[in-house]
Amino acid sequence: MATEQFRQRAEFPPPRPALTRSPKNPIDKSTIVSIYPKEIIERKYTIEPGIFQIPAGRLENPSILVVGTSSWYTYTGENRPTIEVPVSSTMIADALIGDFCRGMLECDMVDARPGLFFVPGEHTIFELKSNEKFKEKLVEIAAKQREWFSRLVRIADSLWARSNGNPLSIPDDARLAAEELNLKDKPWMVDFKTIELVPCFACGSLKNPAFPICAVCRAIDPTYKGEIKFAGQ
């Protein structure tokens, strides 16, 4: 008898109480401003709404995304209501920008970072451009993004040299940075699909055939006919 009751309990759990959502605050809005020249899609699966799309922007034509209140929910137990926890728009905007930027190579969130910031309240681009404080903030964030781009280019130069010209070692953001800084003459700006990588005869690692020395095992390609000079010679 006890076993049968347990089976019924396991197969037919009692329904949870219906979720009652609190009304959203219509004036809780924040405006995210972007001069990052690439679309950003951030997904936050623990809150609702949790999908945010920030269009690509530039200094001369910034893009905006207005965000409102989101909520996350906590289950308090059987036969108890699920609790809704509202999250303000300023916290949402700050989290979106911080989570995206902090994971980027060479971003320190102080002097070098992608061109994103937010303004409390709901604003249009026209309203923001007519505000002197916004113009100052735009110039400040543009300088920080340019510094971030410069650092990415320096990292790409180092990776290109250390990998013997392997185009797969160059991050996509570094290529974007070189385009924005008008440094398209960089050797690693060549489309990596046009470079055929070949295996090293000694260790089998893929290498750029234009470079005779393998970056992995340091073996010299015996088919190379040119002269090789090392530092100090």
Q: Which residue has the higher pLDDT, 22 or 116?
A: 116
> What angle, 0 to 180 degrees and rounded to 10, lies between the N-to-C axes of helices 132-162 and 172-180?
120
Report, as an integer, the average pLDDT of 46-64: 93
Give the per-residue pLDDT at 207.
79
Give the per-residue pLDDT at 55.
96
Strands 198-199 and 206-207: antiparallel
Report, as an integer, the average pLDDT of 71-85: 77
Q: Which residue has the higher pLDDT, 171 or 14?
A: 171
* Distance separating alpha carbons of residues 113 and 105, to the nearest angstrom: 9
Q: Please give the model's pTM, rounded to 2 decimal places.
A: 0.73
pLDDT band at 1 (very low <50, low <70, confident <90, very high): low
Tens digit of each residue's pLDDT (9 = 90 or more) over 195-223: 567 888 888 887 777 778 888 888 888 87
Give the per-residue pLDDT at 39.
95
Strands 30-34 and 63-67: antiparallel
* Distance separating alpha carbons of residues 188 and 174, to the nearest angstrom: 10
CA dist list (Å): 149 to 49, 111, 144, 217: 32, 11, 9, 32
Give the per-residue pLDDT at 195.
58
